[in-house]
Amino acid sequence: MPDLFRRVLRKGFDELALSINEEKIEKLALYKDMLLSWNEQINLTAILDQEEIAIKHFIDSLAVSRFIDFKKDQKLIDIGSGAGFPGLPIKIIFPEINVTLLDSLQKRCRFLNELIRELGLSGIEAVHGRAEEKGQDPLMREEFDFAVARAVTKLPVLVEYCLPFVKEGGIFIAFKGPGVNDETKSAQKAITLLGGRLIENKRFTLPVSKEERSLVLIGKKESTEKIYPRRPGIPEKKPLL
């Protein structure tokens, strides 16, 4: 009989209408095992319960598939990836896309690159650096079809971190809780200054747990001015309000 983690994953994916084979389920299970093992040495997650890990990390990360159709060779960057959510689960389930996991802590990048090696994945890498610096890097600036961020900071700041990575016609996706309307309103100035436009706030209930979630979809309509993102620390201290 499958263990609780696998049973919850399958139930959640059924509700998302995601067809997942056993190989992908096993990769997610290995991911979970390595997450808990490494978590004993470095702080990766406060969630330790098997069912909650399945729901709040993996199913939550993949709920984006309800609204986004990932296609072969598209490029996605996960800003402030932490333990790899949501970028790494997205890569496991949609291996045809290319993924960059950006995080400011070297030890988390070591975990991510070791995990990528153990999972046998290609077309994905963990990069150590701050969004404010990498957003000015010509090799990364406006290079991605999608930027995603989950549980990083408030939306006005997040927009400055993430939109510089998105190419014209691409989309920034912010993973948020239910009460995001005020955040979205306060981010309008930043969205406009960074060359974006609000597409929609997608509100939904998370499979299995039925908790409320939101995905804020922001399109990139024109190139971001060179002055953004500003120097490290400035977006957080002086948001574009």
For the residues of 117-134, what is the DSSP string, one character each?
HHHT--SEEEEES-HHHH
Q: Output the CA torsion 127→148→86→42 (10° steps).
A: 40
Rg (CA), the chain: 17
Cross-strand pairs, 171? 146, 219
Q: What is the structure's pLDDT at 1? A: 42
**Residue 196 falls inside a structural domain:** yes
Mean pLDDT of 133-141: 97
Q: What is the pLDDT of residues 2-17, one digit of tens each?
A: 699 999 999 999 999 9
**Residue 1 falls inside a structural domain:** no
**Residue 51 falls inside a structural domain:** no
Residue given tokens 């290319």 in the structure block: 98
Contact 55, 89 (CB under 8 A): no
Counting the structural domains of the chain, the total is: 1
Residue 132: half-sphere exposure toward Cβ, Cα within 13 Å: 10
Mean pLDDT of 103-113: 97
Percent of the chain with pLDDT over 90: 95
Helices 4-15, 22-38: axis angle to 10 degrees equals 120
Q: What is the pLDDT of residues 218-228, one digit of tens each?
A: 999 999 999 99
Q: What is the structure's pLDDT at 19? A: 86
| Angle formed at CA 44 by CA 41 and CA 49, multiple of 5 degrees | 100
Mean pLDDT of 16-23: 93
Q: For the whole model, what pTM was predicted?
A: 0.96
- Locate 111 and state its tokens: 């975990």
**Residue 35 falls inside a structural domain:** no
Residue 96: pLDDT over 60: yes
Q: What is the structure's pLDDT at 2? A: 61
Q: What is the structure's pLDDT at 179? A: 81
Domain that holds residue 165: 71-237
Task: Tell me the helix, strand and coil percentages in the chain, rounded to 5.
Answer: 40, 20, 35
- Locate 14 and state its tokens: 């059924």
9 Cβ neighbours under 8 A, 6+ residues apart: 20, 25, 28, 54, 58, 59
Which of 77-86, 175-184, 190-199, 202-211 is predicted least confidently? Answer: 175-184
Q: How would residue 178 be classed by pLDDT, with cut points 50, 70 and 90?
A: confident
Instruction: Report the chain's mean pLDDT, rounded to a whole number.
Output: 95
DSSP state of 223: P
**Residue 5 falls inside a structural domain:** no
**Residue 99 falls inside a structural domain:** yes
H helices, E strands: number in the chain: 11, 7
Q: Centre a 10 Å sphere on the Cβ of residue 217 and count the other Cβ atoms it contains.
A: 18
DSSP state of 204: E
**Residue 180 falls inside a structural domain:** yes
Check which CATH number belongs to the domain holding 87 and give it. 3.40.50.150
**Residue 128 falls inside a structural domain:** yes
With 0-12 CB in 10 A as exposed, 13-18 as middle and 19+ as buried, what is 208? middle
Q: What is the structure's pLDDT at 82? A: 96
